[in-house]
Amino acid sequence: MMSARDLHRATQLRRAATAAALLGALVLSGCGVTGGAIGDYIWGSSKSTTASPPSTTTDKTSTTASALSTTTGDAVSPDLSKVDDVQPIAKLYNKGLEEMKGGNYTSAKKEFAEVERQHPYSEWATRAILMQAYVDYQRNKYDDSVNESQRFLTLHPGHRDAPYAYYLIAICYYEQISDVTRDQSMTQKALDALDEVARRFPGTKYARDAQSKAVLARDHLAGKQMAIGRWYERRKDYLAAINRYKTVVTQYQTTTHTPEALFRLTESYLALGVRSEAQTAAAVLGYNFPNSQWYKDAFALLQKQGLSPAENKQSWISQALNTFKPL
């Protein structure tokens, strides 16, 4: 189990990495640029699109600063030749960029909101919605960021930046994953949102990153089931414990908790006197994780009662893991 300090550190590292990814993704998702100009769309550039991605740092402010270092000039007015009142909208939008550059995210959001309010039918008003979602994310205003992203998707469901909006929603949930001793409803939301990104946009950078982050989310959900199962087992409520371990084996079998779940099933079934299931759990554990300490412990536990691992092919354990490929 992670300590509060370790959890905080892990959360900070996740934020630093995802902040850099989000900034780059917002640019590369198609917001008015062609090619790989990561810094140019956000901050503007006086030269060609040659900026490199911002490096991962220890906090969101530092991430933003590293992004600035990749640019080659001050913010420039976007191409608004087809929009009325060019100067007012350019001034508002660039003011938002400048505020964001300085880390003044509250002021930046106000400027982007003004772009949307004063020029509601312009292309830049559309982009300003996502910029508001991004600065809310930077302010750790996750609910606001999710709401802005969902508003963008409601208004522009077929927009080329829709993948980014879905991805940002998932990241907002993902960064709120808490220790397994706490409620994991946010973890489930994160997993659902990450899976949706992977399902809707297969083969994209969003899907690849979402799939990697979903591994952690599933591991947390499995860890919660294990924590509850162990609690029941300590109280000698073995049936309730078995139900929790069964959830891990059937729903989260690719997580790191599967070996322990199989060992705990061996323990619990032996405590209930259901020897066949205990032997099956140990046999499946040995087949999939032969070198694990959990299998050694399960084998020793059976030996104490004069038993050995023996798989019953009709057992739910065997059927649940008959196509399992351990990590």
In a domain, 194, yes or no: no
Measure the CA angle with vertex 147, ends 134 and 123; round to 5°.
60
State if pTM tops 0.85.
Answer: no
- Give residue 14's pLDDT: 53
Q: Which residue has the higher pLDDT, 8 or 98?
A: 98
Q: Is a pLDDT exceeding 50 seen at residue 47?
A: no
Give tens-digit pLDDT for 172-216.
Answer: 999 999 888 889 999 999 999 999 999 999 999 999 999 999 999
| Boundary residue ending a domain (20, 41, 76) | 76
Mean pLDDT of 38-64: 35
What is the overall mean pLDDT for the chain? Answer: 80
- Give residue 22's pLDDT: 58
Give CA–CA dist 289/285, Å, rounded.
6
Give CA–CA dist 192/181, Å, rounded.
20
- Give residue 120's pLDDT: 87
| Boundary residue ending a domain (23, 57, 76) | 76
For the chain, give the longest Cα–Cα distance. 87
| Residue 165 · residue 134 · CB < 8 Å | no
In a domain, 290, yes or no: yes
Instruction: Count how many domains the chain has.
Output: 2
Give tens-digit pLDDT for 249-276.
Answer: 999 999 999 999 999 999 999 999 999 9
In a domain, 100, yes or no: no
In a domain, 282, yes or no: yes
Give tens-digit pLDDT for 128-184.
Answer: 999 999 999 999 999 999 999 999 999 999 999 999 999 999 999 999 998 888 899
Percent of the chain residues past pLDDT 90, beyond the cut:
63
In a domain, 29, yes or no: yes
In a domain, 62, yes or no: yes
Give CA–CA dist 274/307, Å, rounded.
12
| Boundary residue ending a domain (76, 93, 118) | 76
Mean pLDDT of 313-320: 93
- Give residue 51's pLDDT: 28
- Give residue 315's pLDDT: 95
Neighbours of 118 (CB within 10 A): 13
Residue 120 CB-half CA count within 13 A = 2
- Give residue 19's pLDDT: 56
DSSP string, 243-309: HHHHHHHHHSTTSTTHHHHHHHHHHHHHHHT-HHHHHHHHHHHHHH-TTSHHHHHHHHHHHHTT---
In a domain, 143, yes or no: no
Q: Which residue has the tokens 């964001």?
A: 100
Q: Which residue has the higher pLDDT, 205 or 17?
A: 205
Range of the domain at 316: 236-320
- Give residue 53's pLDDT: 30
In a domain, 246, yes or no: yes
